[in-house]
Structure 1
Amino acid sequence: MMDFYIKQVIIHQFRPDDTELHLATSPIELTPRLDDYFRKKLSRVFSEEAKRGYFEANSPFFAKIEDDLAVSSQTIAKLWREAFVISENQKTNDLIFIQFDKDGVSYFAFLRLALREHLAHIIGEESPIQITQNNLPSAAQTPDEALVVNLTSRQYYLIEKRIKHNGSFANYFSENLLQVTPEQSVKKSIKTLEHTAQKIAENFNQDDFTFQSKMKSVIYDHLEGEEELSPEKLADQLFDSNLTARLSFVDQVKETIPEPINISDIDHSRQTKKLENQKLSLSNGIEMLVPTRVFQDAESVEFIQNQDGTYSILIKNIQDIQSK
């Protein structure tokens, strides 16, 4: 887990029955278990799911973040309610405001957690299995919405959900509350890279299983060994023998991702894990799970295209075989 030092936590609540805020006047007492819960929640914001950007120096929202957490939390909670109350799908929400340090730098966080109903076994009751209200989600779950701000650099990390209003959906959090246009998340950016690479490969008749596997291997290597995902570097490896394809890939990617994607400040382990193995389904019913790190290693596995158009797979240098 990332190293967070939590200073204060204040929790307000929004209830859909009266659409009003129930404002706390003081911070909660931080027990070790609560401290662990909120640190896990914060760590989920520094992830591949977060959109990122920087507040301008004259940002009206950033100006609302004050040293006094009680004051700024109430101000921002009221602004959030004004933006959120139009939503057609309202639940009871805890609005959690946190002052914390990360790597010696001061941060501000606003987490929205939709509370849940759960079945609970309550001893001593005539009906021991009852529905309990206003349960917090598990620590491992990503907050329903979240904003974390580096108070020195004004960089923000944003998890947001669209709300439905008058039959349409809107990113009310970034557009109305924060008034910013964030970069798309690393998770979505990787999907854009994959989709664009596949489309270019189709245009140049390269879209077969070897290209799909090469694409996953290249992105995996960049996630493992680089601080950013560079469209130019990816193009050089994906389309190394085709200059036109390389240029087309870079041009199309930069329409939605104008700058290299920084991955050094977030936890992208989920994306890496998705790419660490490649599953192949063969026409004869055999399925293979090949670690990405050996996929391009000719000393470990070789894919051979036969003259009749079929494929052969040669697996090499096997020291031991076990049946599982």
Structure 2
Amino acid sequence: MTEKKPKISEEVAQVKKALKTVSKKYDIEQYEAVMGAQKALYDSIDEEASLSSERVAEQVFGDNHQAKQEFLEELDQKGIQREIALEANTPVFERKYQKQKLKLDNGIEIVVPAELLKNKDYIEFVTNDDGSLSVILKKIESIKNNF
């Protein structure tokens, strides 16, 4: 009897879970970790038609080799492949990861294209002296209200 292969969405959920666990351990803000992962997943899908856990690790943990290693080891322990082929599902996943929806605690919602998430020329996240965050949007030529 062959072992049933997990659904791609289940594997992605395990990647996200491991990401949150390791980023919390290394005091990385969850919003930063999720944004980095979303950007890495989008780039990986767009360029390779696969989800690359190693690319996620690099994007989120950068020079923190210990955190990267722990993240990848946690995925290995869960039996998650480092490259998850999307096959015919590429367009579905591209649409899903092309935008990041941010919900702020004051009720403001912002939808940001994945390719701009880490581009400080367009959007910047600043930690204020009191520990709160500011979101700065830049280079905006017009605002459209979809009423």
Query: Quick check: 2:100–2:112 contact (8 Å CA) kept in 1?
Result: yes
Hey, what does 2:66 align to over in structure 1? 244
Hey, what does 2:75 align to over in structure 1? 253
Is 2:62 the counterpart of 1:262?
Answer: no
Hey, what does 2:2 align to over in structure 1? 180
Where relative contact order (Cα < 8 A, 6+ residues apart) is larger, the structure is 2
Hey, what does 2:31 align to over in structure 1? 209
Query: Quick check: 2:49–2:85 contact (8 Å CA) kept in 1?
Result: yes
Q: How does 1:84-163 map to 2 (within 5 A)?
A: none
TM-score (norm: length of structure 1): 0.42
Hey, what does 1:274 align to over in structure 2? 96
Query: Quick check: 1:301–1:313 contact (8 Å CA) kept in 2?
Result: yes
* Identity score, percent: 23
Q: 1:301 to 1:207 in 2, by over 3 A?
A: closer
Hey, what does 1:321 align to over in structure 2? 143
CA deviation vs aligned residue, 1:219-250 (integer Å, no higher than 9, x gap): 12111112433333322222112111111111
Residue 259 of structure 1 and its aligned partner are, at CA, apart by 5.2
Structure (1/2) with the larger strand percentage = 1
Q: 1:240 to 1:270 in 2, by over 3 A?
A: same
Q: 1:260 to 1:321 in 2, by over 3 A?
A: closer
Residue 258 of structure 1 and its aligned partner are, at CA, apart by 4.3
CA deviation vs aligned residue, 1:66-105 (integer Å, no higher than 9, x gap): xxxxxxxxxxxxxxxxxxxxxxxxxxxxxxxxxxxxxxxx
Q: 1:274 to 1:229 in 2, by over 3 A?
A: closer
Is 2:48 the counterpart of 1:226?
Answer: yes
**Aligned mates of 2:52, 2:107 — CA distance in 1:** 37
Q: Which amino acid aligns with 1:322?
A: K
- Stretches of structure 1 lacking an aligned partner (at least 5 in a row): 1-178
Q: Say which of 269, 281, 289 aligns to 2:111.
A: 289
CA deviation vs aligned residue, 1:105-156 (integer Å, no higher than 9, x gap): xxxxxxxxxxxxxxxxxxxxxxxxxxxxxxxxxxxxxxxxxxxxxxxxxxxx
Query: Quick check: 2:36–2:56 contact (8 Å CA) kept in 1?
Result: no
Q: Which amino acid aligns with 1:183?
A: K
Secondary structure at the aligned position of 1:187 is classed as helix
Aligned residues: 145
Hey, what does 1:44 align to over in structure 2? none
CA deviation vs aligned residue, 1:47-84 (integer Å, no higher than 9, x gap): xxxxxxxxxxxxxxxxxxxxxxxxxxxxxxxxxxxxxx
**Aligned mates of 2:49, 2:93 — CA distance in 1:** 14
Residue 323 of structure 1 and its aligned partner are, at CA, apart by 2.2
Secondary structure at the aligned position of 1:198 is classed as helix
- Max Rg structure: 1
Residue 190 of structure 1 and its aligned partner are, at CA, apart by 1.2
Q: Which amino acid aligns with 2:57?
A: A
Q: 1:259 to 1:206 in 2, by over 3 A?
A: closer
Q: 1:308 to 1:266 in 2, by over 3 A?
A: same
Q: Over aligned residues, Cα RMSD in angstroms?
A: 1.8
Hey, what does 1:308 align to over in structure 2? 130
